[in-house]
Amino acid sequence: MPLNGPLIRRREASISAELQAAALPTPLKRVYANRGITDPADLSLTLDQLHPPKQLKGIAEAAELLADAIEGDGRVLIIGDFDADGATSSAMAVNVLRQMGLRDVAYLVPNRFEFGYGLTPEIVELAAAQMPDLIVTVDNGISSIEGVAAARAMGISVLVTDHHLPGEQLPSAEVIVNPNQPGCAFPSKALAGVGVMFYVLSALRAELRRRVWFDGEGPPEPNLGDALDLVALGTVADVVPLDRNNRILVAAGLARIRSGRARPGIEALFEVAGKDHREATASDLGFIVGPRLNAAGRLDDISIGIECLLAESSMEARECADKLHRLNRERRDIGQSMEQDALEQLASLELDSRALPFAMVLFDPSWHQGVIGILASRVRERVHRPAVIFADVGEGMLKGSGRSIVGLHMRDALDLVATRHPGLLDKFGGHAMAAGLTLAKDDLQRFTQALEVAVAEMLNHVPPQATEDSDGALGAGDLGLELAESLSAGGPWGQHFPEPAFDGLFDVRQHRIVGENHLKLTLALQGVEIDAIAFNVDVVDWQARPATRIRVLYRLDINEYRGERNPQLIIQSFWPLESDSSAD
């Protein structure tokens, strides 16, 4: 963490009369108003308030297609993606379809290093060896024009379930379920792939009820609530916006995890990370469990993660979780080395913030293609520019992963480049904040220039400035355990519904370095002292000029130590207001 930070922008939404009358702490009312909440009823996150499945285009036909496969004893193959969303989607589809009586269901996830993303013709050829009657894509497929055509040519039916943005052409699948496809009236466009599959399975259960499948000698009707731990994990890990519908799904999944009703694999992933699943938060899913699951797809084979989620015993789950934990450590080591390389490249450019290009494109032949997405995020955070990081994948081709900033749609930027320069991009796709692409190595410089022009135009030639949002200041009387607990319970917090952050001026009473580069502080506001910690500080800079007064952007959190719970500030950024080399 640098000692000088971005511009703080205070959210200042007015609190509605209805929200003002709610029995909530005033700072929490302000937080909710800043996130667009006007009616306290919108804070209720019970499952009966989910948008109904029937609003998803194609879902009735998807349910019929799957029900026919179950009744006809068909062979179904799930084709997933190699990230946490794809892993949770695949595991849920296999697990629930088996519970519904489908005897022959398996999964296949392309190895990212051999086949790349999605249902490609090569994957169809591999899948055909298992002689499926029906292929079901989860968290992919909407851009698999050639792959779906290849499957249909082989006589294999295809059901596409996805949430990614479609291109101009849709695949010729029997059925497509995707809230972002043209003509779909589903109110929430933010469903993750696992959320889409959860809805499909809900509609399938309703269709099987209509066919009286669960009566008599049929299997017992499954409780889909058992799958909500997977839905919560995949939704948070995929960093989709937490609109109300997604918050309902995540809140229900977290409740299962905290109550000890999660599947063995998820509990094992918490255990290897040294975290108590009974205290699970959405942040834990995104920053602790999700990365361990993703590590398999980044470095090895996501099947390890899927098997962890499918494990029926704690022993089996722990064995898989241990492998994932080791892979995550390896991923972290590789990422740190790549980040150092990237920092050296940035330093060699000798650019200050005013001279930075509008888009940052970096490449090193030694970089690992499974970790470039993480590096793109790191570079974006450091320079506050859209970043695309490339790795060499052989045969003269590069694979890129892009991460964007608020206000710039990454996939639209790539689409603009592709439109202006036909043939430059071999493949591309993604979201507003993240995208992937491939291109010829010889075209890297041309792409860099084309992306720079496109992003500059999309930003109206105004260089972006790093900003962080604050929910305002807290008074000294607010810095207690009661408000900290209310804020913790007020989520789930996540993408587009961010965890509350506040800013203020504090006196520094004590300070010391802990670990290698973390700063432990005792701060005071109007005579009230509170512990605080800032992670990854520039230790040399701080020790050269420790401050007696700082401006802080922080989260009010709870520190649990030896059975005691105390409030503490998690510092996101801070700015020294005066220096005193004699400060203690």
Sorted by sequence, the CB contacts under 8 Å of residue 349 that are 6+ apart come out as: none
Residue found by looking up tokens 């699970």 in the block: 280
The pLDDT assigned to 350 comes to: 60
Q: Kindly list the distances between the CA atom of residue 104 and the CA atoms of 224, 305, 325, in Å, as whole numbers in the listed order.
A: 20, 21, 31
Contact 228, 87 (CB under 8 A): no
What's the pLDDT tens digit per position in 23-80?
999 999 999 999 999 999 999 999 999 999 999 999 999 999 999 999 999 999 999 9
Residues of the chain with CATH 2.40.50.460: 7-38+468-579
| Structure-block tokens of residue 365 | 């032949």
Neighbours of 31 (CB within 10 A): 26
Sorted by sequence, the CB contacts under 8 Å of residue 554 that are 6+ apart come out as: 501, 502, 503, 504, 532, 569, 570, 571, 572
Sorted by sequence, the CB contacts under 8 Å of residue 332 that are 6+ apart come out as: none
Please name the residue ranges forming H helices in 101-166: 121-128, 145-153
Which pairs count as long-range contacts for 578-583, CB under 8 Å and 24+ apart, including other chains? 578/547, 578/548, 578/549, 579/545, 579/546, 579/547, 579/548, 580/546, 580/547, 580/548, 581/544, 581/545, 581/546, 583/508, 583/511, 583/546, 583/547, 583/548
Give, in words, the CATH class of 51-326: alpha beta
The pLDDT assigned to 3 comes to: 43
Pairing of strands 528-534, 564-579: parallel
Query: What CATH number labels 7-38+468-579?
Result: 2.40.50.460
Separation of alpha carbons 244 and 359, rounded Å? 33
Separation of alpha carbons 424 and 400, rounded Å? 13
Q: What is the 3-state secondary structure (H, E, C) of 411-469?
A: HHHHHHHHHHCCCCEEEEEECCCEEEEEEEHHHHHHHHHHHHHHHHHHCCCCCCCCEEE
Tell me the backbone φ, ψ of residue 66, rounded to 5 degrees. -70, -40
Low-confidence ranges of the chain (pLDDT < 70): 1-6, 112-116, 350-354, 578-584
The pLDDT assigned to 354 comes to: 58
Give, in words, the CATH class of 351-458: alpha beta
Q: Kindly list the distances between the CA atom of residue 157 and the CA atoms of 125, 133, 136, 173, in Å, as whole numbers in the listed order.
A: 14, 6, 9, 7
Separation of alpha carbons 434 and 127, rounded Å? 28
Report which of 298, 174, 284 is spatially closest to residue 237, judged by C-alpha positions: 284
Sorted by sequence, the CB contacts under 8 Å of residue 353 that are 6+ apart come out as: 383, 463
Contact 80, 139 (CB under 8 A): yes
What pTM did the predictor assign?
A: 0.89
Separation of alpha carbons 112 and 532, rounded Å? 42
Residues of the chain with CATH 3.10.310.30: 351-458
The pLDDT assigned to 580 comes to: 44
The pLDDT assigned to 582 comes to: 36
